């Protein structure tokens, strides 16, 4: 069962929220990638129902039908998740973040310790100025270029991101085609699946309905102070990373695992960034078991 609703957030903003699976099941928040939307890749609702999971996803501010929150930090995601949980009548819940959703999921565990039960994080970035981490090492050239430009400030990337989002909105499959030349063979195999491609096209179409604001704000938030310390997390944390990832290099998850007390790190040989899609059902099940 899939339902969609708008939830009012502080300042009169609205957040577009989708729930899938068992309405009475164990609640798990899924925080989508960058760029992305609430309709991103996830197990089918029937699968979630068999798992007795109620999956909650939402468009981060500036994506899809969620109003923009200009200048938002990574930490701001925790407040939005708490507002949504209150609106849905959820007391405690697990959180899963994939790729660009990873830092935002970490924020929930750090800032909502009384409500988050478990945290699963797939192919996440580490903070930009993480001590002892060469943040760009092993990162694909297109990502390095985009982040380097973003470090110069929003005016340097706004125009380019807006133009690209307009192209993707007209042809959502374009983003996948543009990525393929930079993908390792294992990721090319993953995105060759027709069903997954349909889900990716759907999430990109939703993400860019009204422009590139969410994408821009995500990138700027990753590069700025996140607004919390990962060392403060005291919930059970499971990190997963494909060993051949070039979009979020595996060293980022190693850095997180070294600093989050008790965190478990799973590195999968032969997998890369999009291997996280195949890991998602297992990660949801682990998170829900908390």
pLDDT tens string for the chain (290 positions)?
A: 899 999 999 889 999 999 999 999 999 999 999 999 999 999 999 999 999 999 999 999 999 999 999 999 999 999 999 999 999 999 999 999 999 999 999 999 999 999 999 999 999 999 999 999 999 999 999 999 999 999 998 888 889 999 989 988 888 888 888 888 888 899 999 888 888 888 888 999 999 999 999 999 999 999 999 999 999 999 999 999 999 999 999 999 999 999 999 999 999 999 999 999 999 999 999 999 98
CA distance 267 to 205: 31
pLDDT at 268: 97
**Domains of the chain by residue range:** 3-288
In sign, the C-alpha dihedral spanning 27, 226, 213, 146 is negative
CA distance 35 to 210: 13
The model carries a pTM of: 0.96
pLDDT at 127: 98
Dump pLDDT digits (tens) for 260-273: 999 999 999 999 99
* Phi, psi of 202, rounded to the nearest 5 degrees: -65, -45
CA distance 71 to 146: 18
CB 96 within 8 Å of CB 33: no
CA distance 109 to 117: 8
Sheet holding 3-8, edge to edge: 3-8, 14-21, 53-58, 26-31, 93-98, 116-122, 237-242, 264-268
CA distance 176 to 263: 32
Fold of 3-288: Rossmann fold (3.40.50)
């Amino acid at each position: 069962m899939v339902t969609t609703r708008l939830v009012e957030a502080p300042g009169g903003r609205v957040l577009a929220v989708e729930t899938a699976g068992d309405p009475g099941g164990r609640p798990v928040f899924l925080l989508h990638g960058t760029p992305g939307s609430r309709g991103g890749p996830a197990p089918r609702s029937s699968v979630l129902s068999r798992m007795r999971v109620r999956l909650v996803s939402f468009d981060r501010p500036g994506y899809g039908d969620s109003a923009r929150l200009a200048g938002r930090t990574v930490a701001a995601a925790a407040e939005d998740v708490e507002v949504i949980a209150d609106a849905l009548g959820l007391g405690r819940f697990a959180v899963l973040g994939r790729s660009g959703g990873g830092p935002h999921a970490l924020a929930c565990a750090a800032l909502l310790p009384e409500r988050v039960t478990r945290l699963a994080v797939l192919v996440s970035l580490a903070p930009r100025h993480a001590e002892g981490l060469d943040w760009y090492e092993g990162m694909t050239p297109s990502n390095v270029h985009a982040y380097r430009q973003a470090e110069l400030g929003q005016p340097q990337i706004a125009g380019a991101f807006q133009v690209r989002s307009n192209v993707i909105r007209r042809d959502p499959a374009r983003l996948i085609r543009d990525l393929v030349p930079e993908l390792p063979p294992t990721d090319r195999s993953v995105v060759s699946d027709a069903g997954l491609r349909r889900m990716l096209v759907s999430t990109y179409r939703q993400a860019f309905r009204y422009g590139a604001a969410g994408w821009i704000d995500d990138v700027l938030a990753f590069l700025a102070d996140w607004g919390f310390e990962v060392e403060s997390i005291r919930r059970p944390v499971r990190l997963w990373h494909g060993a051949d990832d070039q979009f979020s290099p595996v060293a980022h998850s190693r850095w997180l695992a070294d600093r989050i007390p008790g965190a478990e790190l799973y590195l999968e040989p032969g997998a890369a960034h999009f291997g996280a899609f195949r890991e998602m059902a297992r990660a949801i099940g682990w998170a829900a078991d908390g």
